[in-house]
Structure 1
Amino acid sequence: MQQLQLEASWDKALSAQDRAHIEKLFNEIKQQHYSTIVFSPIREAINHRNELLITVLVHNFSPFPLTFENTPLSYSNEQEVLAEQTFTLPALTIPAKVSMPWTFIFPQGSYTPGTSLWNGRLEIQSLPEKK
């Protein structure tokens, strides 16, 4: 059964409102019968360094831990790809059957400025082969 897990720094820093929102997203999707990785959008923002911050609840429905090592992600709306970046995140491992919030940071130059970046969809372009 799918479980919600928070990384320690997230657990300490989350406001009650954000925690309730994440729990609601988790409860809406945990009963679904997925067999792969699903991203539930939480928030998009541009920070002071003009980086695009995409916060999602990552649902690892697979039977394998999910790591991000040279993992290409894209962020798109209905019409076009808005951002692309390859992520290597040694600190992020999402165990099998676990959902965890995370913010992916797309540096300036990896996304299309001047387009509406809101209400997009984050996707893994291809998962590395399991050995």
Structure 2
Amino acid sequence: MQNLQFEKAWDRTLSAKDRKRIEEIFSETKSISEHPVHFSTLWQAKNYKGELLITVLIHNFRQQLLSFCETPIRYVEGTTIIAEHIFTIPSLRIEPTTSMPWTFIFPKESIICETSLMNGHLQFMYEKL
């Protein structure tokens, strides 16, 4: 059975409204196990530096720990690749059969074309898992 877990800093700072939304999306998507890892988009934004912030609920449906070390990920809207970046996040470790929210920050230089910030999703640039 899939469990929802929050990283400690998220658990302390997350608003009640955002927590409720994450819990609702978890309930709706916790059984999507077509792939060993699935990203459910929560929200997307651009910050003042021009970076692209994509917040997702990461579902680790595998029976092993999930970590991100030199992991190439892209942000796609429809069929258009918006950004690509290789992520190494030492603090992000997702236990087996666990889902956790996380924000991936794509540096300005990783953005390939303009974004509408609507209906986008993350995907691995190649099937690593």
TM-score, normalising length from structure 2?
0.92
Q: Over aligned residues, Cα RMSD in angstroms?
A: 1.5
1:128 Cα offset (Å): 4.5
Q: What SS does the aligned partner of 1:114 have?
A: coil
Q: Which residue of 2 aligns with 1:112?
A: 112
Q: Which residue of 2 aligns with 1:90?
A: 90
Q: Which residue of 2 aligns with 1:55?
A: 55
> Does the 8 Å contact 2:84/2:106 carry over to 1?
yes
**Which stretches in structure 2 are left out of the alignment for 5+ residues?**
none
Alignment map for 1:1-131 (pairs within 5 Å): 1-126=1-126, 128=128
Stretch of structure 1 that moved more, 119-128 or 6-15: 119-128
Change (3 A) 1:114 1:32: closer
- Tell me the matched-pair count: 129
The 2-side partners of 1:114 and 1:50 are apart by 11
Task: List 4+ stretches of structure 1 deviating above 4 A.
Answer: none
> Does the 8 Å contact 1:34/1:61 carry over to 2?
no
**Which stretches in structure 1 are left out of the alignment for 5+ residues?**
none
TM-score, normalising length from structure 1?
0.91
Aligned sequence identity (%) = 46
Stretch of structure 1 that moved more, 111-120 or 60-69: 111-120
The 2-side partners of 1:35 and 1:122 are apart by 13
